[in-house]
Structure 1
Amino acid sequence: MRVAELDFAEKTWTIPAGRTKAGRTTVVPLGAFSIVLIKEALALRPKPSEGAEPSPFVFVGRGEAPGAIHPSAISHAMRDIRAAIDIPDITVHDLRRSGATRLARARTSPFILSKLLNHANELGGGSSITMSVYVQHDYLEEKREAIECLERLILAAVRPGTELQPPPPPALPAPPRLLFHEPA
Structure 2
Amino acid sequence: MLTDTKLQSLKPPATGQQEHPDTKIKGLRLRIGAGGTKAWILRRRVGDKVINRKLGVYPAMKLAAARNAAESMIEALERDGSTEGLDRTFEAAAEAWIKAKKRPALIQRQLELHVYPDWRDRKLGEIKRAEVRDLIQGLEGEVLPNRVLATIKTVFGYAISQDWIETSPADRIEKPNAEAARDRFLTMDEVARVWNAAGLLGYPDGPWTRLLLLTAQRRSEVAGIRWVDLDLDNATWTLSAGDTKAKRAHLVPLAPMAVEIIKAMPEIGDYVFSTSANSPIRGFARSKRQLDEWLESKGLGLSEPWRFHDLRRTAATHMVRLGTPELVVSRVLNHRVQGVTGQVYALHSYAPEKRHALEAWAAEVDRAVNGERGGNVVRMERE
- Scaled by the length of structure 1, the TM-score of the pair is 0.71
Letter in 1 for 2:288: M
**Is the Cα–Cα contact under 8 Å of residues 17 and 24 in structure 1 kept in the other structure?**
yes
Tell me if 1:97 matches 2:302.
no
**Taking structure 1 as reference, are residues 134 and 100 closer, same or farther at Cα in structure 2, changes over 3 Å only?**
closer
Tell me if 1:56 matches 2:266.
no
Q: Choose between structure 1 and 2: higher strand proportion.
A: 2
RCO greater where, 1 or 2, for CA within 8 Å and sep 6 or more? 1
Question: Which residue number corresponds to residue 367 of structure 2?
Answer: 156
**Is the Cα–Cα contact under 8 Å of residues 45 and 59 in structure 1 kept in the other structure?**
no
1:115 shift after superposition: 0.4
**Taking structure 1 as reference, are residues 143 and 157 closer, same or farther at Cα in structure 2, changes over 3 Å only?**
same
Match of 2:342 among 127, 131, 137: 131
Question: Which residue number corresponds to residue 143 of structure 1?
Answer: 354
Letter in 1 for 2:301: D
Q: Choose between structure 1 and 2: higher helix proportion.
A: 2
What do the CA deviations read for 1:84-111 (whole angstroms, capped 9, x no partner)?
Answer: 1423721111111111111111011110
1:134 shift after superposition: 5.5
1:135 shift after superposition: 5.5
The total of aligned residue pairs comes to 143
What do the CA deviations read for 1:21-58 (whole angstroms, capped 9, x no partner)?
Answer: 111110000011100000001xx344xxxxxxxx1111
**Taking structure 1 as reference, are residues 102 and 135 closer, same or farther at Cα in structure 2, changes over 3 Å only?**
closer
Letter in 2 for 1:154: V
1:137 shift after superposition: 1.1
Give the Cα–Cα distance (whole angstroms) in 1 for the partners of residues 241 and 333 of structure 2: 14
**Taking structure 1 as reference, are residues 67 and 149 closer, same or farther at Cα in structure 2, changes over 3 Å only?**
same
Moved over 3 A (4+): none
Question: Which residue number corresponds to residue 239 of structure 2?
Answer: 15
What percentage of residue pairs aligned between the two structures are identical? 31
**Is the Cα–Cα contact under 8 Å of residues 16 and 24 in structure 1 kept in the other structure?**
yes
**Taking structure 1 as reference, are residues 106 and 69 closer, same or farther at Cα in structure 2, changes over 3 Å only?**
same
Give the Cα–Cα distance (whole angstroms) in 1 for the partners of residues 319 and 346 of structure 2: 24
SS in 2 for 1:71: coil
Larger Rg: 2
Question: Which residue number corresponds to residue 67 of structure 1?
Answer: 278
Question: Which residue number corresponds to residue 329 of structure 2?
Answer: 113
Q: How does 1:23-34 map to 2 (within 5 A)?
A: 23-34=247-258
Give the Cα–Cα distance (whole angstroms) in 1 for the partners of residues 344 and 310 of structure 2: 33
Give the Cα–Cα distance (whole angstroms) in 1 for the partners of residues 337 and 341 of structure 2: 12
Letter in 1 for 2:287: A
SS in 1 for 2:238: strand
Question: Which residue number corresponds to residue 86 of structure 1?
Answer: 301
- Scaled by the length of structure 2, the TM-score of the pair is 0.35
**Taking structure 1 as reference, are residues 18 and 149 closer, same or farther at Cα in structure 2, changes over 3 Å only?**
same
1:154 shift after superposition: 0.7
**Taking structure 1 as reference, are residues 161 and 23 closer, same or farther at Cα in structure 2, changes over 3 Å only?**
same
Give the Cα–Cα distance (whole angstroms) in 2 for the partners of residues 102 and 94 of structure 1: 12
Question: Which residue number corresponds to residue 118 of structure 2?
Answer: none
Letter in 2 for 1:119: H
**Is the Cα–Cα contact under 8 Å of residues 112 and 143 in structure 1 kept in the other structure?**
yes
SS in 2 for 1:86: coil
Give the Cα–Cα distance (whole angstroms) in 2 for the partners of residues 153 and 135 of structure 1: 28
Give the Cα–Cα distance (whole angstroms) in 2 for the partners of residues 135 and 89 of structure 1: 36
**Is the Cα–Cα contact under 8 Å of residues 11 and 30 in structure 1 kept in the other structure?**
yes
1:10 shift after superposition: 1.9
Question: Which residue number corresponds to residue 181 of structure 1?
Answer: none
